[in-house]
Amino acid sequence: MSFNSSQEQFWATTYAKDYIKKNQEFDHNLGAEAWRKILANVDGEINTFLECGCNIGRNIEQINRILPNAEPSIIEISEPAFNFVCSRYKFAHAFNGAILESFFDNNSFDLVFTMGVLIHINPDQLLAHMEKMFRYSSKYILMGEYFNRTPISIEYQGEKDKLFKRDWGKLFIENFDVNLLDYGFLWGHIYDSAGFDDINWWLFEKK
């Protein structure tokens, strides 16, 4: 597997197995409640969705509880996480590799989303990742990430240049032809046990 940045290599190898061990227990019912809030203003059905960076499938499990008939697909860069999630769920499409290396037809999925993934992407490659999400989606794009009004880099468990904060929604809406449907905040004080630790999210619809 080739990597487009040091961040990709880190998440695919160095931290992958440790992350899986730390993130196997979640309150999925609480997570499903969070997803109901996130998707409350969707005007239409979601029959297919693609998660870009699914890790062990927390969001897959929680979305399945509110959209049991929606067909999931995934992109996951970590081979251990990819094998783990594929052993537990059935996917229409599953790609083990970097988002930029993935290849799906344009307009393939009703919803394309990230949840805590863009924060780990090299800032120079952000728009390329967002363009992939935009092209893959037939209607909705969702991003759930750590917010800061100005772009900053902070240490992630002692590692530099592995976590970035910014206004993701503003960057996306200024560069792609979309309408903002909704946005919100999942307060970790309530949602930590479901895997959402102070996440801001933005839901867009393609024009």
The pLDDT score that the predictor gives to residue 9 is 56
Mean pLDDT, range 108-114, rounded to an integer? 98
Q: What percent of the chain has pLDDT over 90?
A: 78
The pLDDT score that the predictor gives to residue 17 is 58
Mean pLDDT score across all residues of the chain: 90
The pLDDT score that the predictor gives to residue 24 is 62
Asked whether residue 1 carries a pLDDT value surpassing 60, the answer given is no
pLDDT digits (tens, 9 = 90+) for 123-142: 999 999 999 999 999 999 99
In DSSP terms, which residues pair with 166 in a beta bridge?
Answer: 147
The CA-based angle 55-76-43, given to 5 degrees, is 85
The pLDDT score that the predictor gives to residue 25 is 77
Asked whether residue 116 carries a pLDDT value surpassing 60, the answer given is yes
pLDDT digits (tens, 9 = 90+) for 68-97: 999 999 999 999 899 999 999 999 999 999
Length of the chain: 207
Evaluate the CA torsion angle 24, 196, 51, 67 in order and state its sign.
positive
**DSSP state, residue 169:** H
**DSSP state, residue 147:** B
Asked whether residue 161 carries a pLDDT value surpassing 80, the answer given is no
Asked whether residue 5 carries a pLDDT value surpassing 70, the answer given is no
Dist CA 75 CA 144 (whole Å): 16
Long-range contacts of 102-109 (CB under 8 A, 24+ apart): 102/52, 102/75, 102/132, 104/50, 104/73, 104/136, 106/135, 106/136, 107/135, 107/136, 107/137, 107/138, 108/48, 108/50, 108/73, 108/136, 108/138, 109/48, 109/49, 109/50, 109/73, 109/136, 109/137, 109/138
pLDDT digits (tens, 9 = 90+) for 7-47: 555 555 555 555 565 556 799 999 999 999 999 999 889 99
Dist CA 42 CA 32 (whole Å): 15
